[in-house]
């Protein structure tokens, strides 16, 4: 079983309940929709971290996840797909069991997607201004510091070349969760997992991938996440896959972590092209063309990589948000409630 209580040393369980924290979050979110405020968005983010800590340190026993409903699945080239109105926890499970992923074209409008992509650019500019010693635009880049018992997250320098952590931008975190909740994503992921999910600081990234990003290496995120129950919501914010870096995918359901670090692998945690070829079998590697607002869902066993080339003229903007079951949250990650 995944479920485990994992209360840390020194954590006595005192303080506010997760329910009261969520009630305050919802009230502040209503106020912020009417009158956006960097101070309020910082407060929402801190409350999400406090609520996430409670969920992860002392999780409830999860319920029963939903069963697959393959009847509503169609095909978009080599990938299982559904229209936004057919998206449900049952169709998500059916797509993942079929081919490791599920594609939803037009999950949000292209206008909303492109607007969120522009916000990512502002966050990157705010970070660069801060690093140059200039004032950063309020709320767009403020490096997140967790509360005990969680330690300062590692890996910020790794992600800085291709975006920003959502938790480092209270403005982006608010805009992202708002975009998701307009379509009831929390209820969908809760039904899929059997418990209300948590994000993490390290695995929720607002991506800006440039053509010179190079080969990130074939990988399954489960190779470094450990024994988790997870779902990645990858939301495209700009056209990509041809003129901008996209994703290369192996459209096959895998049940285990394949060998990593063998001859030809880019990193010790990545998968060599030879292993990819063996795993794919008679299936071709897929590089879909994504439009702003398209969404791809997959879990920690899905084999994929960034597809970038220096002859591409444009950058790609996207949201990469991993949702985790609190009862199987990855070790050494910092929780943010969703």
Longest C-alpha distance within the chain, in Å? 56
Residue 97 lies in domain: 18-337
DSSP conformation class of 53:
H
* 13 located within any domain: no
pTM to 2 decimal places: 0.94
Q: Give the mean pLDDT per block of 10 residues along the chain (338 residues).
A: 45 72 98 97 98 94 90 96 97 97 97 97 95 90 95 90 95 96 94 96 97 85 92 98 96 96 85 95 96 98 95 96 96 96
* 8 located within any domain: no
Report how far apart, in Å, the C-alpha atoms of 253 and of each of 202, 219, 307 are: 25, 14, 20
Q: What is the 3-state secondary structure (H, E, C) of 239-260?
A: CECCCCCEEEECCCCCCCCCCC
Q: Quick one: pLDDT at residue 9?
A: 38
* 97 located within any domain: yes
Into how many domains does the chain fold?
1
Percent of the chain as helix, strand, coil, to the nearest 5: 35, 20, 45
* 9 located within any domain: no
Residue length, the chain?
A: 338
Segment (H or E) for 276: helix 273-280
* CA quadruple 281, 282, 287, 290: dihedral sign: negative
DSSP conformation class of 266:
S
Report how far apart, in Å, the C-alpha atoms of 296 and of each of 31, 62, 66, 89, 236 are: 31, 25, 19, 14, 8
Residue 142 has φ and ψ, to the nearest 5°, of: -145, 105
* 64 located within any domain: yes
* 327 located within any domain: yes
Q: Is 169 helix (H, G, I), strand (E, B) or coil?
A: coil
85 Cβ partners below 8 Å, 6+ apart? Answer: none
Q: Quick one: pLDDT at residue 7?
A: 52
Q: Quick one: pLDDT at residue 215?
A: 63
CA 271-210-146 angle, to 5 degrees, is: 75
Helix residue ranges per DSSP H, the chain: 18-34, 38-57, 89-99, 110-131, 156-159, 170-181, 185-193, 222-225, 273-280
d(CA 267, CA 3): 31
Q: Quick one: pLDDT at residue 192?
A: 96
* 34 located within any domain: yes
* 127 located within any domain: yes
What's the CATH number where 121 sits? Answer: 2.60.120.620
CA 169-52-126 angle, to 5 degrees, is: 5
């Amino acid at each position: 079983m995944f479920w485990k209580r994992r209360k840390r040393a020194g954590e006595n369980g005192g303080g506010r309940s997760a329910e009261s924290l969520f009630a305050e979050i919802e009230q502040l979110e209503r106020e912020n929709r009417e009158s956006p405020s960097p101070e309020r968005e910082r407060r929402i983010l801190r409350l999400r971290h406090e609520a996430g800590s409670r969920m992860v340190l002392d999780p409830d026993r999860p319920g029963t996840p939903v069963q697959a409903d393959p009847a509503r699945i169609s095909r978009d080239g080599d990938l299982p797909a559904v229209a936004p109105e057919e998206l449900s926890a049952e169709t998500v499970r059916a797509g993942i069991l079929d081919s490791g992923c599920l594609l939803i074209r037009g999950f949000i409008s292209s206008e909303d997607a492109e607007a969120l992509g522009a916000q990512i650019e502002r966050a990157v500019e705010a970070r660069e201004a801060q690093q140059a010693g200039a004032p950063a635009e309020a709320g767009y880049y403020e490096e997140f510091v967790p509360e005990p018992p969680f330690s300062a997250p590692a890996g910020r320098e790794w992600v800085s070349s291709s975006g920003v952590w959502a938790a480092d931008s209270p403005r982006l975190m608010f805009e992202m969760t708002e975009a998701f909740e307009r379509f009831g994503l929390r209820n969908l992921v809760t039904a899929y997992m059997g418990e209300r999910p948590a994000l993490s600081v390290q695995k929720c990234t607002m991506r800006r991938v440039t053509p010179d990003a190079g080969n990130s290496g074939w990988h399954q995120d489960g190779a470094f996440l450990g024994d988790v129950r997870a779902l990645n919501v990858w939301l495209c914010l700009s056209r990509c896959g041809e003129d901008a870096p996209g994703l290369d995918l192996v459209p096959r359901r895998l049940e285990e972590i394949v060998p990593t670090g063998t001859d030809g692998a880019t990193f010790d945690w990545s998968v060599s092209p030879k292993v990819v070829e063996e795993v794919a079998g008679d299936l071709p590697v897929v590089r879909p063309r994504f439009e702003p607002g398209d969404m791809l869902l997959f879990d920690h066993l899905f084999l994929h990589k960034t597809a970038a080339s220096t002859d591409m003229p444009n950058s790609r903007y996207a949201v990469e948000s991993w949702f985790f079951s609190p009862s199987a949250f990855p070790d050494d990650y910092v929780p943010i409630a969703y």
